[in-house]
Amino acid sequence: MAKHIELGKKGEEIAAGFLKGKGYQILERNWRTGRDEIDIIATDKNTLIIVEVKTRSTDYFGEPEEAVTDRKQEFLIRAAEEYVNQNELDLEIRFDIISIIIQPGKQTIRHIEEAFYPTINE
């Protein structure tokens, strides 16, 4: 397996454990619809949390969360809408990013709640 894929999987494991530690209930991991994927779907009280996990081995090229582009946000929003529809949910939805840097001997985790909001296209 490619090193960046292994790093990403390790980051998702760390993120899921981090969220569980905060009392979140993990509903899905790597949930797919068509070509879109949500890394983690969780709940916290009455809120559905859509989580994008970005993991890097360094911040040399910028913070991991900077890789969540407007286009990636569109994919996440579309996938979240599909998940809500398929499961007939009536919950508030929040989009978070968990940014992780894994270096020898240490890891940095940053949980960015309400990282972005869906926009209404008219």
Over range 50-68, report the average pLDDT. Answer: 88
Place of tokens 């790597």: 30
Question: Domains of the chain: which residue ranges?
Answer: 3-116
Rounded-to-integer distance, Cα 26 and Cα 112, Å: 17
Distances (CA, A) of 22 to 19, 25, 45: 5, 9, 12
Q: What is the pLDDT of residue 119?
A: 73
Q: What is the pLDDT of residue 120?
A: 57
pTM: 0.91
The architecture CATH gives domain 3-116? 3-Layer(aba) Sandwich (3.40)
Nearest of 80, 8, 9 to residue 43 by alpha carbon = 80
For 28, residues 6+ apart whose C-beta sits below 8 A from its C-beta are 38, 40, 41, 83
Model confidence pLDDT, tens digit, residues 70-108: 999 999 999 999 999 999 999 999 999 999 999 888 899
Place of tokens 């760390």: 14
Does residue 15 carry a pLDDT above 60? Answer: yes
Which backbone phi and psi does 100 adopt, to 5 degrees?
-130, 135
Q: Is 22 exposed, middle or buried (0-12, 13-18, 19+ CB in 10 A)?
A: exposed
Q: What is the pLDDT of residue 121?
A: 55
Q: What is the pLDDT of residue 57?
A: 86
Does residue 22 carry a pLDDT above 60? Answer: yes
Model confidence pLDDT, tens digit, residues 38-49: 999 999 999 999
